[in-house]
Structure 1
Amino acid sequence: MTESGAAIRTSESDGPSLVALLKVLTYKQVILLLRYPVNTASQFVGLAALFGIVFFGGKAVAGAALTDSLDGIIVGFFLYSLSMVAYSGLSWNVTREAQWGTLERLYVSPHGFRTVMTVKAVVNVCMSFLWGAALLVLMMAASGRWLSIDPVTVLPLTAMTLGSVLGIGFVFAGLALVYKRVENAFQLVQFGLIGLIAAPAGNVEWMKLFPVSHGSYLTGVAMEQGVRLWEFPLADLGLLVLTTSFYLALGFYVFHRAIGRARDEGLLGHY
């Protein structure tokens, strides 16, 4: 057997590369952001403008009362921007792929549709950190309030918080596969995320079981009070891991069932 033949057999046995898939999906995401600059800029400017209205308008009306809660407002907007990009990127991806007529191509990918969507979710989370970091710096500069940002603490907490957001995203991605037109439901979830982020999980124990809420509370404590990751009680960290794992697994299960139903009923080619 020649060396070239052996190389071909080795390459075929290795199977599709997840690294290559990650690179392609990241490149595609960047291209879409650059190709539609108005849409990209309006999304960022919209969040920044909303913070400006809350901050400057509230400062004029409430004065010192707003100053006392400013740290929480900044953290809340930061988490909301992360959640929006991570959630909407996943759920809207299915809708756009169906509209573009490329959804069926994802099914014939050698990686499999579930793997492609999972890697898409990872890319969306990474992109959300870029959006969130830019907005966070802008908010702190505009307000003059600089929070404690320890990457070793903030990154794991926000990543775990976004895990439950991805679970919600998988649910609505599955609904989009089956029911197609669910954009209005997407928008309702955006308002629901605000409530989950603002939920007083630190004072009401059972609210820690909601998606996002417990992670939002821990991230707020870390950024506002400078608490390090290893200084949190193990029970709080363990609960965050459990709730995130539960909602992520639940969302992926719903997505898995939706894929089966869409395939069995021949819904992939219709929009």
Structure 2
Amino acid sequence: MVMKQLLLLVRYRVNFIIQIVSMYLFFAVIFFGGKAVARNIGGGAVGALSSTFDGLIVGWFLWTMAQSAYSGLQGEITSESMRGTLEHLYLSPYGFGSVMCLKIIVNVLLSFFWGAVMLVSMMVTTQIWLTVDLLTILPIIIFSLMSVIGIGFGIAGLALIYKKVGSISNLMQFGLVGLIAAPVTGISLLRFLPLAQGSAMLQMAMQEGVALWDYSLRNIALLVGTGIFYFVLGYLLFIYCATIARKRGVMGHY
């Protein structure tokens, strides 16, 4: 399945390059536009806002991976349903759950690739070098993406019944931005939202060099708990919707 995704990237490399370039250009417009505004307001100095620009890079890095993880899984399931092959997964000797777990692993690996390309591009362009401690940021990213994958499962489940949910998927792009930018330090309840806790911890890790073992047990428990909770909730919603779609005989009807 990993080879399949790599072959698709090579086969449709023009589309892949366009996606990377468009996301990078969008970031560049926001970053350099914000820097120009800061210079005009601050009389040429941007030092006071340097942490904001660092945060923008970290946030964009996480958004790139979250967007890839969400849209990749949701799009894959929807495509399987449209082709009429989703029901075949239930007949697989490996079991539906095993096949979906493999799809998730491949999807997360692909998300890491997208994020790595964007992060390197952003740091080279802006000359802002952040702390990249893989032992710290990888666990944070994995549990952060688990909550997004859960959302992807939920939306994919709704698509099996209601078919056209493209507007929800489009709104989710902006929703992910809001979750990543959620002010968890001011409103502690926001930490229970998908991505919010992971985003706050990733900002500290990459901007301030905080190691994984430096976080409190409460913060780590929140990260792990929210990731698992939303993943399980989304998967259960998908299974429930898939069961309804199969009973109605509309699993592959579009």
- Please report the TM-score for the alignment, with normalisation by the length of structure 2: 0.93
Note if 1:53 corresponds to 2:29.
yes
Distance 1:124 1:42 in 2: 19
Structure 2 equivalent of residue 7 of structure 1: none
**Aligned partner of residue 69 in structure 1, secondary structure:** helix
Structure 2 equivalent of residue 40 of structure 1: 16
**Aligned partner of residue 80 in structure 2, secondary structure:** helix
User: Do the aligned partners of 1:94 and 1:176 also contact (CA within 8 Å) in 2?
Assistant: no
CA offsets, 1:8-36, max 9 Å, x none?
xxxxxxxxxxxxxxxxx212211222221
Deviation at 1:98, TM superposition (A): 2.7
Structure 2 equivalent of residue 93 of structure 1: 76
Runs of 4+ in 1 over 4 A off after TM superposition: none
Distance 2:105 2:161 in 1: 23
Deviation at 1:54, TM superposition (A): 0.8
Structure 2 equivalent of residue 270 of structure 1: 253
Counterparts of 1:113-192 in structure 2, within 5 Å, are 113-192=96-175
> Whose Rg is larger?
1
Structure 2 equivalent of residue 8 of structure 1: none
CA offsets, 1:174-218, max 9 Å, x none?
112222221121111111000000001122211101110011000
For these two proteins, the number of residue pairs brought into alignment is 247
Distance 1:254 1:98 in 2: 16
Deviation at 1:38, TM superposition (A): 2.3
Identity %: 47
User: Do the aligned partners of 2:184 and 2:197 also contact (CA within 8 Å) in 1?
Assistant: yes
Alignment equivalent of 1:245, drawn from 219, 228, 243: 228
Structure 2 equivalent of residue 20 of structure 1: none
What one-letter code is carried by the residue in structure 1 that aligns with 2:242? I
Note if 1:236 corresponds to 2:219.
yes
**Aligned partner of residue 92 in structure 2, secondary structure:** coil
What one-letter code is carried by the residue in structure 1 that aligns with 2:232? A
Deviation at 1:66, TM superposition (A): 4.6
Note if 1:82 corresponds to 2:58.
no
Counterparts of 1:5-20 in structure 2, within 5 Å, are none
User: Do the aligned partners of 2:242 and 2:251 also contact (CA within 8 Å) in 1?
Assistant: no
Structure 1 gaps, min length 5: 1-24
Query: Structure 1 residues 49 and 66, CA, compared in 2 at 3 Å: closer, same or farther?
Result: farther
- Please report the TM-score for the alignment, with normalisation by the length of structure 1: 0.87
Structure 2 gaps, min length 5: 40-45
Alignment equivalent of 2:203, drawn from 202, 205, 220: 220
Structure 2 equivalent of residue 67 of structure 1: 50
